[in-house]
Amino acid sequence: MELLLLYYIVTNLLAFVTFFLDKRRAKANAWRISEKTLLTLVWIGGAFGAYIAMRLFRHKTLKPAFRLGVPIAILVHAGITAYFIF
């Protein structure tokens, strides 16, 4: 259980930082992080961190893949966590 918690902490921090960096690069017209990479981080476990970053930095909030995909990923990972707890 501790490993699962550590995994989610790391993936969520990584997703949060990656969304922040992509927003900063967008403002600077610099090289961007691909949407595929961002969504991969969401689906491997960083959905909650991505959601917080989306709201805090107002980034990718209008894109349907993120607006719908991130909350769905949160529910999926909540189900996975519940399965291991119970």
pTM of this structure? 0.93
Q: What is the pLDDT of residue 12?
A: 98
What are the pLDDT digits (tens) for 6-38?
A: 999 999 999 999 999 999 999 999 999 999 999
Residues 6+ apart with CB under 8 A from 47: 12, 15, 70, 71, 73, 74, 76, 77
Write down the residue that tokens 């930082």 correspond to.
17
Domains of the chain by residue range:
2-85
What are the pLDDT digits (tens) for 33-65?
A: 999 999 999 999 999 999 999 999 999 999 999
